[in-house]
Amino acid sequence: MDKIYILLMAFISIVIVNNLVFTKFLGICPYLGVSGRIDMAFGMGMAVTFVVTLAGTLTWLIDHLVLMRYSLEVTRYICYILVIADAVQLVEMYLRRFFPPLYESFGIFLPLITTNCAILGLCLFINLWGIDNFAEAVVLSFGAGIGFTLAICIMAGIRENLKIADVPEPLRGAPITLITAGILTLAFMGFAGMIK
């Protein structure tokens, strides 16, 4: 029971309290670039969730089973980025072969995910926080993806309405998106300190 409680807390903390987009500024590029429409934002979020779960789990395993055992920590970043790039490639090939419609709907997002900082960021944070429990690492990875999806969908919803709002000329586009994001983080700051 205790274990489940810890995992649940870890999940809530990464989705809401330590949301990667709002508190760690990770994955801002797609957050600003893609979040124009809710359906696209959701697709992107799902793709990221999928890859981040895979990448977080794999990098944790490699880190603990290979790098730490043979003190190869120096090569950590190179290993991480290779794992992520491979995971993205793998997911892309798998989807193209078995789920063509899903692959079509992800489109350009899939290859772009390699350079999504949320994914490498999460792998690094798992390492930084010293998570040495495999289940917790998996839950955190999955939660990070859900948190990203949540953030990008909220943003897309607001931006669909921003289109009809009367925004001052120089602030149109990216600036107003950033300011909106700022106000959103203010709301999410209310959760700070709730857990951990």
Partner 1 sequence: MENKGPTVASVITAGLWSENPVLRLLLGMCPTLAVTTAVKPALTMGLSVIFVLICSNIVVSLMRNLLKPHLRILMFTLAIATFVTIADLYLKAFLPEMSATLGPYIPLIIVNCIIICRAEACASKCGLFISIVDALAMGVGFTVVLCILGAIRELLATGMVFDIMIMPKAFVPWAAMRMPVGAFITLGLMLGLVNLVTGKKA
Q: Which residues bind partner 1 (CB under 8 A)?
A: 22-29, 32-33, 74-78, 81-82, 85, 114-117, 119-121, 124-125, 128, 168-179, 181-183, 185-186, 189
Of the pair 3, 107, the CB lying nearest partner 1 is at 107
Kindly write down the DSSP assignment for every residue of 29-87, as one continuous string.
Answer: HHHHHTTTSHHHHHHHHHHHHHHHHHHHHHHHHHIIIIITTTT-GGGHHHHHHHHHHHH
Helices 2-12 and 134-162: crossing angle in degrees, nearest 10, is 30
Of the pair 49, 177, the CB lying nearest partner 1 is at 177
Of the pair 102, 171, the CB lying nearest partner 1 is at 171
Of the pair 166, 169, the CB lying nearest partner 1 is at 169
Query: Minimal distance in Å, beta carbon 67 to partner 1?
Result: 13
Query: Minimal distance in Å, beta carbon 120 to partner 1?
Result: 5
The set of residues, in sequence order, having a beta carbon less than 8 Å from that of 153 and lying 6+ positions away, is: 38, 41, 42, 45
Query: Minimal distance in Å, beta carbon 34 to partner 1?
Result: 13
Burial class (CB in 10 A: 0-12, 13-18, 19+), 53: buried
Query: Minimal distance in Å, beta carbon 174 to partner 1?
Result: 6
Determine contact, residues 109/44, Cβ cutoff 8 Å: yes
Query: Minimal distance in Å, beta carbon 138 to partner 1?
Result: 20
Of the pair 119, 146, the CB lying nearest partner 1 is at 119
